[in-house]
Amino acid sequence: MLRLELLRLARTREVTTFMMLPALLFVPVIVAITLGLGTLRDERSLVALPLDTPAELALEAALEAQELTASWSLDPEAAFRSGEVQAAVLYWERGEGVGMARPRYEVAQRWRWRATAVAGDSRLKGRLEAAIKDAGDELLRDWIAAGGDDPGALLDFAELNLLPIEADKTADPIPFIDGPGGLGIVLLMVAVLSQYLVPVIHVSDRLAGVAESLAVTPAGRGELLVARLLAFTLVEMLAAALVVGNLHLLLSALPGRSLPSLVAVPAVLSGALFINAAFLMVSLPSNNVQQAVSRASILLVALGTLAGAGVQLKQVGLPFAGLFAAEGPAELLLASASCTAGAVLLTAAAARLFTGARALPPSGP
């Protein structure tokens, strides 16, 4: 049964038109629009630097190499939050621990600093990180060369010296792209696509008499529904994988790369199952595609509202993303279990509702 459903979905035009194509184009189009808008503005982003930035780092030149412009500020954080600058180094502190690598270079710690910075987007953050790293590298190489050693032979040592920027998570406008919430965005997209796919396929089947032909075989109606739900969900996961792949390729953002994020994968899967089961439920009593789609639209809004009411939204307008932006595996496991239970209940209810009469074209007695 699952094979039949997958084969049919693979050859259904709506799957290509409403699901795979948008999944493939969604991220590139957004990126293209963003880049297009970016070219209309000054490409160079302003980075606020605190006044105590170590002069020997020559950070201005390193920023310049990354096409960033330094802007000295008494309060870089305030400048970032007010939108005057697109990124900011909040403060510097002395690095530690280099001396453990090689005793001879204990004093090397004098030449290293740790920066805490914030940035408007992950690409800008990457450029800022690279600028600070480059500046630190250069300084360290100079110092090693001044001691009569070959800086090239000490690359491992230099690597140890490069301390990462600790981004201010709470200040990031889209904090969940790289975390579990990134998968929430994918789920949101899946939900929007399913809203059309599930009713269109199901009601078309009923109108064309396919449901009737299947309903007179010994296969149980529950089996038919479960196979259909699984097939829909697998196709949606494929679309989701396309979106995630695009995010990774084009934005270097990869939802689900941390351990808690991996826990979000089954949560998204069960979430998609739940949404599909809910859409199937509203499709069963519908007499035509338009009716089914409009009911599914209402359901999507209702589900979004419920999700929004259930959690404290961090981002208005992204209820599912907000739901999955929960930090930590426990919440995600709970969400996963809840969605699975909901999907099972809805499927059982749908199997009860999917009587022979519901398999017939709606032409009356």
Q: Which amino acid is at 76?
A: P
Residue 360 makes contact with another protein by CB under 8 A: yes
Region of 151-159, 174-182, 209-217, 326-334 interacting with another protein (CB under 8 A) = 209-217
Among 213, 252, 287, 305, binds another protein (CB under 8 A): 213
Smallest distance from the beta carbon of 87 to another protein, in angstroms? 51
- List, in order, residues 6 or more apart from 298 with CB less than 8 Å away: none
Number of C-beta neighbours around residue 249 at 10 A: 13
Kindly write down the DSSP assignment for every residue of 185-248, as one continuous string: HHHHHHHHHHHHHHHHHHHHHHHHTHHHHHHTSSS-HHHHHHHHHHHHHHHHHHHHHHHHHHHH
The answer to whether 253 touches 178, Cβ cutoff 8 Å, is: yes
Smallest distance from the beta carbon of 6 to another protein, in angstroms? 11
Question: Within 338-357, which residues bind another protein (CB under 8 A)?
Answer: 356-357
Which two structure tokens, joined as six digits, stand for 204? 């078309």
Among 75, 138, 212, 327, binds another protein (CB under 8 A): 212
Region of 65-73, 127-135, 206-214, 281-289 interacting with another protein (CB under 8 A) = 206-214
Residue 218 makes contact with another protein by CB under 8 A: yes
Smallest distance from the beta carbon of 12 to another protein, in angstroms? 6
Smallest distance from the beta carbon of 283 to another protein, in angstroms? 17
Among 152, 164, 310, 361, binds another protein (CB under 8 A): 361
Choice between 176 and 196, CB closer to another protein: 196
Among 39, 82, 312, 363, binds another protein (CB under 8 A): 363
Choice between 88 and 211, CB closer to another protein: 211
Rg of the Cα atoms in the chain: 27
| Beta bridge mates, 119 | 87
Residue 114 makes contact with another protein by CB under 8 A: no
Cα–Cα distances in Å, from 337 out to 51, 189, 240, 268, 302? 51, 21, 20, 11, 20
Choice between 58 and 360, CB closer to another protein: 360
Gap between the Cα atoms of 220 and 25, Å rounded: 38
Region of 34-42, 201-209, 292-300, 338-346 interacting with another protein (CB under 8 A) = 201-209
Binding mask 4-43 for another protein (x = CB under 8 A): x--xx--xx-------------------------------
The answer to whether 240 touches 17, Cβ cutoff 8 Å, is: no
Sheet of strand 87-94: strand arrangement: 68-73, 45-50, 87-94, 113-119, 166-167
Region of 26-34, 93-101, 149-157, 214-222 interacting with another protein (CB under 8 A) = 214-222
Residue 1 makes contact with another protein by CB under 8 A: yes
User: Residue 60 phi/psi, 5° resolution?
Assistant: -60, -45
Residue 155 makes contact with another protein by CB under 8 A: no
Kindly write down the DSSP assignment for every residue of 250-315, as one continuous string: HH---TT-SHHHHHHHHHHHHHHHHHHHHHHHHHTT-SSHHHHHHHHHHHHHHHHHHHHHHS--SS
Choice between 133 and 221, CB closer to another protein: 221
Smallest distance from the beta carbon of 11 to another protein, in angstroms? 4
* Residues contacting another protein: total by CB under 8 A: 28
Choice between 292 and 359, CB closer to another protein: 359
Which two structure tokens, joined as six digits, stand for 167? 């981004």
Among 37, 216, 259, 316, binds another protein (CB under 8 A): 216
Q: Which letter does DSSP use for residue 44 in this model?
A: P
Residue 210 makes contact with another protein by CB under 8 A: yes
Which two structure tokens, joined as six digits, stand for 255? 């939802």
Query: Which positions touch another protein (CB under 8 A)?
Result: 1, 3-4, 7-8, 11-12, 205, 208-210, 212-220, 356-357, 359-361, 363-365
